[in-house]
């Protein structure tokens, strides 16, 4: 499983000069919240334009049999803690225009430092 971010106590490197078309499944991205544009959130990309995704595998917001095709220039995002996450299950596909950055490394705590996007890691 990919590294999961804690609610607090971690520091990360965020790459802000990104081409949203180079986002891949599994990337952790930051974006303006579709519910409150003044708020910046961080979630994992699980669907790209043209993908067919299950709207809610947990069945909490929609039947687990409901699927959607991700529109052009949009992504489907998910919080790692589904039980406590507001994500695409709630507000649907996210426009790539809202994406502001991509997390590329966890730098604190140092013992578990990991490069997220390319599956590289280092140990102090």
pLDDT by position in tens, the chain (length 124):
355 666 566 677 778 888 888 899 999 999 999 989 899 999 999 999 999 999 998 888 888 889 999 999 999 999 888 888 899 999 999 999 999 999 887 776 655 444 454 444 333 2
Is residue 26 helix, strand or coil?
coil
Look up the CATH architecture of domain 11-112. Answer: Ribbon (2.10)
**Cα 10 to Cα 22: distance, rounded to the nearest angstrom:** 25
**Cα 78 to Cα 48: distance, rounded to the nearest angstrom:** 12
Q: Residue 34 in contact with residue 99, Cβ under 8 Å? A: no
Reported as type and span, the H/E element at residue 75 is strand 74-78
- pLDDT at 72 (0 to 100): 96
DSSP-derived letter for residue 115 is B
């Amino acid at each position: 499983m990919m590294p999961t971010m804690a609610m607090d106590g971690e520091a990360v490197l965020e790459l802000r000069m990104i081409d949203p078309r180079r986002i891949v499944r599994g990337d952790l991205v930051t974006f303006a919240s579709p519910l409150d544009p003044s708020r910046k959130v961080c979630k994992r990309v699980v669907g790209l334009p043209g993908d067919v995704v299950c709207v809610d595998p947990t069945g909490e917001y929609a039947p687990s049999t409901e699927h959607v095709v991700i529109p052009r220039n949009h992504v489907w995002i998910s919080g790692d803690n589904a039980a406590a996450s507001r994500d695409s299950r709630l507000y649907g596909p996210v426009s790539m225009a809202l994406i502001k950055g991509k997390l590329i490394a966890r730098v604190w705590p140092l013992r578990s430092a990991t490069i997220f996007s390319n599956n590289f890691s280092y140990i102090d």
